[in-house]
Structure 1
Amino acid sequence: MSTTRKTFKTCIRHFTWSWHTVVMGTGAVAGLVSRFHFGQGSEAIKILTLLFFFLNLFFFVAITAATIARYYMFPKLWQAMLQHPTQSLFIGAFPMGAATLINTALAINQNYDFSGTKFLYALWAFWWLDCSVSLFTAVGMIFVMMTKHQHSLNQMSALWLLPVVTLIVASSTGGLLATALAHHPTCASLTTAVSFNLLIMGLSLALMIITVYLMRLVVHGPLDTSVIFSSFIILGPLGQGGFSMLINAQNIGRIPLPPPFSPAVIQTVCLCAAWTLWSIALVWLCIALCSVGSVVREQRIPFTIAYWGTIFPNGVFALLTVELGEVLESPTLHYLGAIFSGELRFIFGAF
């Protein structure tokens, strides 16, 4: 059977925002490598961190360039994309992918003394830009969904979460930056305060959408084959939200609080909240696996870009497991984190 080779212009025309999930997935693996409990400080961890960072940077530059080229060459596609109820939701993948780059670059800066303080402040500036894009994406896409899209409960999917998860991802990046900016209390406290605000906004919206999604599953059953892998997206806000809770709680002591508030109490509350989110994510992981299993028994699932959408949410769930193990000093969670991380690296290698 002969196939027609597509031209470069045709490829650019059909290039969608969903390709930015490749950056998200690669960034999630890079983050896991840099914070992996076993072998910290070893040469192997350093090489893998640098390898995934430059691979992710290449993906980010190439995919962003293709996205810009698409709307430069075909400007009318912008409005058509915004009116599409699925493609438009993937705009949120852009700031989330950028945030993973900041995370890994920060780890390289802090762990391997790369480029010094000036590079750290450059990353801080990029984070403010990412926060602005994330907030604009979250609020803007909710408004677009309200005014330009037609929705029904049976057509709802976990993709609705993509625009609002951007706020949670930005909050975790802010927590990591606040830790690195400990030598500058004003910058650290400002970053922590903004990160907590982003976390609360993003997590509250995400929990509302997850509740509606559960109702959709109970009333109408598992999703269609084309979007079945979006079931794993639920792990994204839960895993990233718990990780952000733990990271930002460690910086709460840098914020001047009035006497009634105790940093120790706030840290304890955040730990309990992170543990709760981890437990909820564990349940949703089982639901997602059962949903995919029920569809696989009925029909074959074709290989598409949707597979990449499973890497980031599973990655941040593994990251939360690893961080809980560090905070609680639990060997069990250390091994669980290693198992989840190893499983994710196996999936990444399969792609």
Structure 2
Amino acid sequence: MSTGSIATLLYNTPHKFTGLLVIGKIFFFLDIISYLSIWTSLITRFTRFPHAFGATFHDPEEAYLIPTAALGFATILFGIEVYGVPSCGIWLVKTQLVLFWVYVAIAICLAVCLNWHLYKTRMATRQPFWLVRLLPSFPAMLAGTTASLLISAHPPHYAIPMLIAGTALQGFGFMISLFILAEYIHGLHHGGLPPMRRRPQMFIAIGPPAFTAVELMGMAEVATSKFGTGFIASAGSLNVPDVLVVLTLFISIFLWILSFFFWALGWLSIFDARREWKFDITWWATVFPNTGFALATIKIGELLDSEAVRWVGPAATVIQVTLWVACAGAHVWAYFTRRTLWPGMDEGFGPDESRRDGSRDGVGMEGDVVGWKAGESHRGLGEV
């Protein structure tokens, strides 16, 4: 999903140079290849070890990551819109419409059924990091962002249901995220900063306000061509699209500053522990949420018609591409040196890392989960 988000960011970056779209297409194809490769690996794993599929739903690390499969699907839909539709016929537009509603159905099932399962099994008591609890509702929230990018290619009778469904799901995901973000802030106040291996995941907090801002501004822009003046009968002759643009712009600025707070908090926390840096898969959390923050910044610059803010867009794009390259390079190196994607060495299974105060975090080889709060311990059920 990080690769697909970079492809979308490259397409939306202002002040493009020649060849930027070609680079974006390369990232889009890499996104498809990596997505299919991961699914192939998962199917192979579950075929060879059937018990691992059921164990995934009872492991405090893996269970919360199940929705990332849907998020990866959403980023492919982003790429289809910006790179595929302009190069293909009407058949891809119709296929895209079907895929959007399939995605909505999957997102709703994950938000309801997976959350219910996690509540029933009290999974949060064995998952010491608060923000990963956002992930089951994340695909529903991203449905709004997906709709805002896709509806421009569809006539009003298709676009308006997409817009309404996307707004409803975006609102649901954002409201759920507020409860978890409150728990996150409470945990930081009382438990302090998490261990270094968890700190890249602090950027997950950026996603809800940032992607909601992107969705609101995108929906409002498209509404100007899809909504008529009298779309809402009780509003009389009020120009609904113009009102939406003004309203969503200022709400998005309101959300953007919250994203900026979480962005700054994450980087301060990571650089504070720079002597403990060691790559693991959690570092990929620095890419996808931060891309949403960059997209929100670019959109605000466009609607404000601010050249100064527009120039922030290319700078943010350079930073995000650099982060992606660094994570990809470190991930390949870690794989060949058997420090990730090997039994006993991944998030949730590998040897945990010590904090300065001597407490430990993570899921050990025996399955013990130990939080950074004194006296907090749990049991994990996952299997490799």
Which TM-score bucket, shorter chain as reference?
A: 0.7 to 0.9
For the pair 1:237 / 2:205, whether they are aligned, the reply is: no
Structure 2 unaligned segments of length 5 or more: list them.
329-384
Larger Rg: 2
For the pair 1:228 / 2:216, whether they are aligned, the reply is: no
For the pair 1:58 / 2:36, whether they are aligned, the reply is: no
For the pair 1:27 / 2:27, whether they are aligned, the reply is: no
Q: Deviations over 1:105-147 (max 9, x none)?
A: 111245xx31121111111111111111111112222212211
Q: Deviations over 1:1-54 (max 9, x none)?
A: xxxxxxxxxxxxxxxxxxxxxxx1101110111111112xx6402211211111
Q: Deviations over 1:156-182 (max 9, x none)?
A: 32111112121121211111111111x
Distance in 2, Cα, partners of 1:151 & 1:345:
33
Distance in 1, Cα, partners of 2:47 & 2:95:
28
Contact 2:61 2:127 in 1 (8 A): no
Find the counterpart in structure 2 of residue 348 from structure 1: 324
Contact 1:240 1:320 in 2 (8 A): yes
Identity %: 22
Find the counterpart in structure 1 of residue 341 from structure 2: none
Find the counterpart in structure 1 of residue 164 from structure 2: 193
Find the counterpart in structure 1 of residue 71 from structure 2: 96
Contact 2:6 2:24 in 1 (8 A): no
Q: 3-state DSSP class of the match of 1:83?
A: coil
Find the counterpart in structure 2 of residue 45 from structure 1: 20
Paired residues for 1:97-246 under 5 Å: 97-110=72-85, 113-152=86-125, 155-181=128-154, 184-246=155-217
Q: For residue 273 of structure 1, report the CA deviation from its aligned partner.
A: 1.5
For the pair 1:335 / 2:308, whether they are aligned, the reply is: no
Letter of the structure 1 residue corresponding to residue 111 of structure 2? A
Letter of the structure 1 residue corresponding to residue 260 of structure 2? L
Q: For residue 58 of structure 1, report the CA deviation from its aligned partner.
A: 0.5
Q: Deviations over 1:60-105 (max 9, x none)?
A: 1111111122222222112211111221111111111111111111
Q: TM-score, normalised by structure 1?
A: 0.86
Structure with greater proportional helix content: 1
Distance in 1, Cα, partners of 2:140 & 2:309:
27
Distance in 2, Cα, partners of 1:60 & 1:151:
28
Contact 2:147 2:166 in 1 (8 A): yes
Letter of the structure 1 residue corresponding to residue 88 of structure 2? S
Structure 1 unaligned segments of length 5 or more: list them.
1-23
Residues 185 and 314 of structure 1: is their aligned pair in 2 closer, same or farther, counting only changes over 3 Å? same
Letter of the structure 2 residue corresponding to residue 251 of structure 1? V
Letter of the structure 2 residue corresponding to residue 326 of structure 1? E
Q: For residue 268 of structure 1, report the CA deviation from its aligned partner.
A: 2.0
